[in-house]
Structure 1
């Protein structure tokens, strides 16, 4: 699905949607908060879409006007979605200050950082916190939005596949890195939890990216690191590969089938060095300072929540497992190299600030 919005003139919102099915006539749903105000079917022909063979009829243009939504001009907070996919097409945010920047946050965790997403969602006009759930064409359409300069995107996508599009569209790219063994522990506990719950409950998690491993967990007694280590050893090479080096893959691969190159770790460090803000998840407050400085906006201070005791305990047990060390060899090396770079940068800043009277200026961490 591709889409764009031509104008919001107060009394009407005009745009178009090109659905994946070229014979389908799209519709949009209009919400004010949680209240659905209208569903409007496309009724304007876009000849170019038909002439280029992208749509059977070209009937892809929509108009949300006073006839569809009573008092449209007076409604300051509206959300317009594609009715078929529920993808956000447009947000009206009259009277609400928004950051006029484009920010992409690479989600490096299997479970998204909901708190971060809520923070940024409130600051930008357009917000797409689970971009990995969208098809690639729709993701590119979101990245290419030209009717707004206030866009937040976050997701667990392969950066190499989209980095050129993000840079071309003027996005600032940022990320938080998590200890890879701790992340693996959370992944495995999540899989085990999914295997014990109904499909309806699992759907609440959305696309977690490990659905194909759920059957491999069902019926297994997985209580501690020894159980999980033995389970990893019994996995087929193909299934085990789904858990191997996820961070390095996100930073250097174009898709899940691509093999890591021999220079994957240096390439991943290069990708991190090109980001506007990057930090360890254990130093989330500093990450927000870096992002805030880039956006020229005070993001406030946070009390960093303690890690889940279950995740921490399992990670400690997995740390000595050879199968885990092999599975995450590239990620462990990458995390170590980046952590060392962070430590060197912080030492340099402390040394510099100690030579300057008064508080030193905020500085971004030297990356790579």
Structure 2
């Protein structure tokens, strides 16, 4: 009997994680596996650069269903996603709902699936920051409380799940599907327009990304952060692809510097070209810390906590907190040449999606 898996993708971080799973399912179908997937885009990110271009660049097929749930508050968005997905399951119930990451779509579809008696598989299960002010932390905890199959990226995540009483036979340490996408697309990275316009050269510029409320919601805090980054950059170009939530705040601030290039969000291939060839990245993103670790690029994370501690203990990431005064010492360490080289975590080898689908074939056929 053919088993139907719903693959849920809603926001930019999801797309990198779902693409290799789609490819792995297709490969198993060619080998005769009785799996069918239904790709469901919730519409949580609906901006062209934040969504559609990622589908194109990562070779993800057009969604089978688009719930069109973009816009509104988090609660409004979650409600729209839940209503839309419930309707999908009423029309054709799937055998498994696979969610990835920790965005609103992840949590919302997990709730609906379990209420409709559909098992949930969570890719990137078990990661925790311990920071309940982050919406993502709430999403992780709720999703993992409903999950049947936990696919994890690290032993840190495994330990978090065990502490919460998850049985060992439901935890599957498989690696990181976002790294699958990174490795399979690395030779396709392409130079963005800003490269020539700013006269960038490998190892001679810094990439900046800031979007978390703790860093960008207060104008004075964001201004102080950028001022210190500019002051500590020794004149190197600073390329800042600006998240939509940050644009509105920056428009009121009038920050300018000859070496600061604030640009629109980039596609996956262009952004990672910038990261790969940069001297360093200053960020408050979790996913970027994983990519910099694999590409051996120094990463300065402007957060008080991280749900990806392996990027610090094993990789190239350093957590410096959100106090702008911590920027200068970190930059001094970078320029002195004393930044750690880092290594790549176990099973971040580009084969994670294959391991996931092998397990699904086994579980769904039993």
Both proteins in one fold, TM over 0.5: no
Q: Which structure shows the bigger proportion of residues in helix conformation? A: 2
Task: State the structure with bigger RCO (CA 8 A, min sep 6), 1 or 2.
Answer: 2
The TM-score, its normalising length taken from structure 2, stands at 0.28
The TM-score, its normalising length taken from structure 1, stands at 0.28
